């Protein structure tokens, strides 16, 4: 078989081959321009070439081929012209077909998108008046009364609701009418929403949860439509619970004069009142609402037959706080040194949400320190972080600022030590935290429901301790006491105008809050007293403050040696705990202070910020042995790692709890 070669000649060279009569035979495809030819004297080789223009090529070689064949009838040039095939024709049309297909697909996608958009718009229009409820009683989020702690009386109030939802026939047989609505009232974070979820979880009924703000839209009538839809859904799924969180967003007092009777908020409230009056008794639909502003709710909403039962969810007491801590500590590994009762006693005023956040911060801190369990120092540090702020370890104060801050905090602590009605000092620090340049922390000895006048006067004296100490020591004053003075002045003014504690003015309240209920806050303060009485109020406030200032000055001058001792210890150590403070106030001396090693002191520059420094194996073994002796049967909860770190932190960095900040500028 002969060889086939691709000819790389130029077009004019191919034409010259034909004009010079060197081509013996050729085949030309008229469709594709493919040329195959052989030369005289070399019939074994076939050359291939693609003609750029077929018609021009045929014209160029026609005369030469015809002339040669006439002159050489016995040895003519063999020629073959092919018209092409259907495949070549389709190939030539392929680009056009592809373009048409792509354009068609694009147009179809565009029409489909437009159709979906129109459908979504129609669906949105049709569902605009539907209530956007959430079923919070699914398997993953189901709550029971076991998840609620520190609210025993509140749970008892709600157990009747659960019993009615489980067995309504027992109530109907006796002609009892279960409350149609229950209003949960209390400060933020006390567990109102959790209680409502627990009621639904215990009863095992559908739980329709919605926020008060979800009813209100910019279009008039939408809120009322959503209220109707919400109650329709609840009736279809009865027995059921409707929970409206932050109902004050839609249930505020009507007639504020800012929007009139056609205001969308009022239309929504009117529909809510109608619905709560409309569904009959014992239909199995109970409305539970939560708010921390019951004072701004419309009276028609609170009348019997609507929200005819109010449950006040207050701050938990020490037993409640301990129970809450136990609930949130179930899934957290705690070291044997953790005393939940002690933590509960140190967190007066904390809500359930605050306590959950406290343990979470402690867990984060323990994880950052590479621990396997949460220890008491972690929780104490987390408490200070929550109350005061994060410790600014990298902040360096000048010696002058350090001395001013030390005497300021010492003034607070020493003054409070000699006051009868002041809580014990638990921690003093001049290390900046949050917005405070230093702080003195106190631990309330018990939960108090009432503030006595003597206690409030002692609080004012304690607040002025920092300012008076600065004046005595430096014969000058700083801006560090601004927050102390603000709080002291506010307490004194409330004693006169709100609590009626003035002997001169008597048990009278001066001034009333003119609440703007449309805005949901105090719009202004209306004076219901004369200018002469206003002057007397100012005189009484000034009298309380100046008398407290004199008491503070007398205490610090009498115990100036204690003031110097505490301030000196603060300058040297930066932090003093309750035991060290007690030693100083009893005239004792603290052991020599051993500053941290350079590596530990500058650990923010050399190692991870909160990672504890390592101890050698010998010290670790000793630490484990000491802790095992102290904890006895609880040693199984400690690893060597946790023991060494716990001992190190308890010895060098004990933390304390409730605070008295000295002010932002200190």
Active site residues: 409
**C-alpha dihedral over 398, 400, 402, 405, to 10 degrees?**
-140
Structure tokens at 55: 């018609």
Residues 6+ apart with CB under 8 A from 341: 318, 322
Buried b / exposed e along 196-218 (16+ C-beta atoms within 10 A) = bbbbbbbbebbbbbbbbebbbbe
What number of other Cβ atoms are within 10 A of residue 453's Cβ?
11
Whole-number Å distance between alpha carbons of 481 and 479: 6
Whole-number Å distance between alpha carbons of 451 and 362: 32
By the 8 A CB rule, do 197 and 143 touch? yes
Whole-number Å distance between alpha carbons of 20 and 358: 103
Structure tokens at 546: 């100046």
**If DSSP codes are grouped into helix, strand and coil, which group holds residue 211?**
strand
Whole-number Å distance between alpha carbons of 91 and 38: 28
Structure tokens at 480: 């560090």
Whole-number Å distance between alpha carbons of 364 and 375: 12
Buried b / exposed e along 555-580 (16+ C-beta atoms within 10 A) = bbeebeebbebbbbbbbebbbbbbeb
Residues 6+ apart with CB under 8 A from 30: 54, 81, 82, 83, 84
Beta strands in 409-449 (DSSP E): 425-429, 439-442
What number of other Cβ atoms are within 10 A of residue 324's Cβ?
27
- Return the closest-CA partner of residue 424 out of 657, 654, 584, 661: 657
Q: Which helix (H) or strand (E) holds 643?
A: helix 640-652
For residue 632, what is the DSSP state? G
- Return the closest-CA partner of residue 628 out of 366, 340, 336: 336
- Return the closest-CA partner of residue 487 out of 495, 499, 478: 495
Residues 6+ apart with CB under 8 A from 373: 333, 334, 335, 366, 637, 638, 639, 642
Phi, psi of 285 (to 5 degrees): -110, 120
Specify which residues 102 forms β-bridges with: none
Q: Within 13 Å, how many C-alpha atoms sit on residue 26's CB side?
A: 26
Specify which residues 358 forms β-bridges with: none
At residue 108's C-alpha, the angle toward residues 103 and 114, to 5°, is 125
């Amino acid at each position: 078989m002969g060889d086939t070669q691709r000819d790389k000649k130029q077009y004019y060279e191919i034409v010259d081959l034909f004009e010079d009569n060197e081509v013996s035979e050729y085949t030309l495809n008229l469709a594709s321009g493919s040329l195959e030819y052989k030369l005289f004297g070399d019939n074994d080789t076939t050359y291939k070439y693609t003609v750029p223009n077929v018609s021009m090529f045929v014209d160029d070689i026609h005369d030469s081929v015809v002339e040669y064949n006439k002159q050489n009838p016995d040895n003519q040039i063999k020629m073959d012209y092919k018209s092409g095939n259907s495949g070549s024709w389709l190939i030539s049309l392929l680009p056009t077909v592809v373009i048409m297909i792509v354009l068609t697909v694009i147009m179809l996608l565009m029409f489909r998108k437009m159709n979906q958009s129109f459908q979504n718009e129609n669906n949105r229009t049709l569902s605009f008046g539907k209530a956007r409820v959430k079923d919070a009683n699914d398997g993953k989020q189901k709550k029971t009364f076991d998840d609620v702690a520190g609210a025993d009386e509140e749970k008892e109030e709600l157990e009747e609701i659960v019993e009615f939802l489980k067995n309504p026939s027992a109530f109907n047989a006796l002609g009892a009418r279960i409350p149609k609505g229950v209003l949960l009232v209390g400060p933020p974070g006390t567990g109102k929403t959790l209680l409502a979820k627990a009621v639904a979880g215990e009863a095992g009924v559908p739980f329709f949860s919605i926020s008060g703000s979800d009813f209100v839209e910019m279009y008039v009538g939408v809120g009322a439509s959503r209220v109707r839809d919400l109650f329709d859904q609840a009736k279809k799924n009865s027995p059921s619970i409707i929970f409206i969180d932050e109902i004050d967003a839609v249930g505020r007092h009507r007639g504020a004069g800012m929007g009139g009777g056609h205001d969308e908020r009022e239309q929504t409230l009117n529909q809510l009142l109608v619905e709560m009056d409309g569904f009959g008794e014992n239909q199995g639909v109970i409305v539970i609402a939560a708010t921390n502003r019951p004072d701004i709710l419309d009276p028609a909403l609170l009348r019997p037959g609507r929200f005819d039962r109010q449950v006040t969810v207050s701050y938990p007491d020490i037993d409640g706080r301990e129970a809450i801590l136990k609930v949130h500590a179930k899934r957290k590994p705690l070291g044997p040194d953790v005393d939940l009762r002690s933590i509960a006693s140190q967190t007066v005023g904390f809500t359930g949400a605050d306590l959950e956040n406290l343990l979470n911060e402690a867990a984060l801190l323990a994880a950052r320190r590479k621990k396997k369990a949460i220890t008491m120092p972690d929780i104490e540090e987390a408490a200070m972080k929550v109350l005061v702020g994060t410790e600014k370890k990298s902040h360096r104060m000048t010696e002058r600022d350090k001395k001013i801050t030390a005497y300021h905090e010492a003034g607070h602590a020493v003054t409070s030590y000699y006051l009868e009605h002041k809580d014990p000092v638990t921690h003093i620090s001049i290390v900046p935290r949050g917005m405070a340049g230093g702080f003195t922390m106190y631990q309330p000895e018990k939960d108090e429901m009432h503030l006595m006048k003597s206690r409030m006067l002692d609080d004012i004296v304690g607040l002025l301790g920092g300012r008076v100490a600065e004046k005595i020591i430096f014969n000058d004053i700083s801006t560090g006491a601004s927050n102390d003075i603000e709080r002291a002045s506010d307490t004194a003014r409330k004693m006169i105008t709100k609590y009626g504690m003035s002997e001169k003015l008597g048990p009278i309240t001066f001034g009333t809050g003119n609440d703007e209920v449309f805005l949901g806050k105090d719009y202004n303060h209306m004076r219901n007293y004369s200018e002469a009485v206003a002057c007397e109020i100012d005189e009484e406030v000034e009298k309380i403050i100046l008398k407290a200032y004199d008491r503070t000055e007398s205490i610090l001058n009498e115990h100036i040696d204690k003031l110097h001792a505490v301030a000196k210890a603060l300058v040297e150590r930066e932090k003093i705990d309750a035991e060290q403070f007690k030693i100083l106030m009893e005239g004792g001396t603290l052991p020599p202070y051993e500053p941290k090693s350079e590596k530990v002191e500058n650990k923010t520059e050399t190692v991870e910020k909160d990672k504890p420094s390592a101890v050698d194996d010998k010290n670790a073994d000793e630490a484990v042995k000491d802790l095992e002796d102290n904890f006895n049967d609880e040693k199984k909860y400690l690893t060597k790692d946790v023991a060494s770190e716990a001992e190190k932190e308890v010895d060098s960095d004990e933390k304390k709890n409730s605070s008295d900040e000295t002010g932002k500028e200190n």
